[in-house]
Amino acid sequence: MPVMPRFDRREFLSSVAAGALLSAAAPSFANPAASATRLRIQYREIAVKGRSKQVFGLRQPNGTHGLVLGPRDRFRVELINAVRDPLLIHWHGQEPPASQDGVPELSQNPLPPGTAQLYDFAPRPGTHWMHSHLGFQEQDLMAAPLIVRTAEDERADLQEVVVMLHDFTFERPEAILARLGGLTGSDPHAGHHAAAAAPTPAPMAGMDQSAHMMPGMTPPAAPPPPPAADPHAGHDMSGMAMDLNDVNFDAYLANDRTLDDPEIVRVEAGGRVRLRLINASAQTNFFIDTGTLDGRAIAVDGNPIQPVAGRRFPLAIAQRLDLLLDLPSGQGAWPILAQREGEKERTGIVLATARGFVARITDLAADSAGPLAADDFETRLVASAPLVRRAADRRVTVKLTGTMSPYAWSLSGHASGENLPIDIAYGERVEFTVRNDSMMAHPVHLHGHHFQVTGLEREGRQAGFRGALRDTVLVGPQETVTVEFDALNPGRWAFHCHMLYHQLTGMMGEVRYVA
Ligand SMILES: [Cu+2]
């Protein structure tokens, strides 16, 4: 059952009390300085489709949500826990020392309520984001943009627009996972290792097809889109049904809003816009649709690429995409939409000139989108600054396995024994071959590093290429994706599927530097 929004004055009071406690909290690895930007995790209320819900926010004292750094700035943040739960924030796309990566158990302990922590490292440029890596907090919007601008960005004559996408539920995420059949009775505050180490959930009584059809979930085999759109959509080469979405949501948000009340961004006629798109969804892949505007993709996951033209671009969970748009010279309004893969549901914002007429946009597209993993965008990408070519010192095959029923997933770099760390050594060129043996696509994320995508095997066809640098790559059902990276950031790093409910039910691994 949906939970009624909880919100009362005590939330504010507890936040104030938490603030008062801060002077007593000792940041553990550096002294807080006046130059640190304060980022306060607090409760906030948002209205979605006429109904309110209390969610999390990460705000600076001036009200800015998240963080934008300039080319000469250090990442120097005082993170303040002003909510009632322990929490920890991961700086997705950054390459900090491992102790500052914000993953429970691997990097540091969660921050108790009323405490603060200083983070201080050299930031990596690009469009990134920050989010909780603890329990279900990310689903309740404990996430915000993290943009690091370059000197070139500062010189560019264009308008930057950040668009953050979310899937949104009025339900408690714990209830969603319980209905999926995963980790019943789990502790939402448990770190990922607790989740990964949990025994494989036994099939629950009643977890049959009908259980899968309960409200809030899609049938295990999503109906394929109209054949005219894509004959292979929804099926792999053998005709087996693939699963596109395993959780339905109450809404899809772009900068916290739905299309019945979208954000209208004022733009100049004839101007140039750089969209910095962030897919901060827990469990939803999107296609970005620029409508009548020709777009040029110029960066993925914060890494510049040779421009790729188009009007429709895939954006998997946790990935980022930077698009350049040149606006026509007259007055006008141009929706930028994000459509959920496999479905008609969409969200978005509107770019509009001062006198541009903004027409109402429905939140359902005319046609269902196909599967993201069937798109060939990845193979067309070329990194602006690729890795130097060299032979791999270490090759690891990583298997993605799991099923919807029972709802249990795993990621393993070992032939036998799961959830064992993958050992690498400093200075090595490492090649991961990620083989997806399941019927669902998984956006796989490596912390603390950016890898180059160098291979894709799909439907029996193998392509080797020197693709984009990324920190998150989508591996389609029955696909194999190869990535390479240089092991230059020692420590223990999370390596996992970025679908929250997969991660919490076992698709979570570790990459570990050994001497
Ligand atoms: Cu997954």
440 CA distance to ligand 1 centroid (A)? Answer: 7
- Write down which residue in 96, 123, 150 finishes a domain: 150
Distance 358 CA to ligand 1 centre (A): 37
Q: Which parts of 122-158 are beta strand (E)?
A: 126-132, 143-148
For residue 387, tell me if it sits in a domain.
no
What pLDDT shows up at residue 416?
67
Does residue 138 lie in a domain region? yes
C-alpha 509 – ligand 1 centre gap (Å): 12
pLDDT for the residue numbered 508: 94
Rounded distance from Cα 75 to ligand 1 centre (Å):
30
Dihedral pair phi/psi, residue 416, rounded to 5° = -130, 145
CA distance 354 to 241: 47
Ligand 1 center–CA 317 separation, angstroms: 10
415 — alpha (psi -120 to 50), left (phi > 0) or beta?
Answer: alpha
Q: What is the pLDDT of residue 237?
A: 41
Residue 406 CA, ligand 1 centroid: distance in Å: 14
**pLDDT number for residue 462:** 83
Residue 182 lies in a domain: no
CATH of the domain at 411: 2.60.40.420
Residues with CB under 5 A from ligand 1 (ion): 442, 497, 499, 502, 507
What is the C-alpha to C-alpha distance for residues 405 and 296, in angstroms, rounded to an integer? 41
Residues 465 and 140: beta-carbon distance below 8 Å: no
* Cα 4 to ligand 1 centre (Å): 29
- pLDDT of 21 reads 38
What pLDDT score was predicted for residue 417? 65
Whether the bond between 406 and the residue before it is cis, its omega within 30 degrees of 0, is yes
Phi, psi of 200 (to 5 degrees): -55, 125
d(CA 220, CA 225): 15
pLDDT, tens digit (0-9, with 9 covering 90-100), for 43-79: 999 999 999 999 999 999 999 999 999 999 999 999 9
Regions of the chain short of the pLDDT cut 50: 1-33, 185-239
- Is position 47 within any domain? yes
What spacing in Å lies between the alpha carbon of 468 and ligand 1's midpoint? 21
pTM: 0.85
Residue that terminates a domain, selected from 150, 167, 190: 150
Position 15 scores a pLDDT of 37
What is the token pair recorded at 459?
Answer: 């439907």
User: Closest Cα to residue 214, out of 263, 260, 248, 163?
Assistant: 248
What total number of domains does the chain contain?
A: 2
Instruction: Determine the distance separating the centroid of ligand 1 and the alpha carbon of 295, expressed in angstroms.
Output: 29
Q: Does residue 4 lie within any of the structural domains?
A: no
Going from the Cα of 80 to the center of ligand 1, the distance in angstroms, rounded, reads: 31
Task: Indicate whether 171 belongs to any domain.
Answer: no
Give the range of the structural domain holding residue 437, as residue numbers without chain letter.
394-513
Cα 323 to averaged position of ligand 1 atoms, centre (Å): 26
Classify residue 78: in a domain, yes or no: yes
In a domain, 438, yes or no: yes
Q: Of the residues 111, 126, 150, which one is the last residue of a structural domain?
A: 150
Cα(22) to centroid(ligand 1), Å: 38
354/332 Cα distance (integer angstroms)? 8
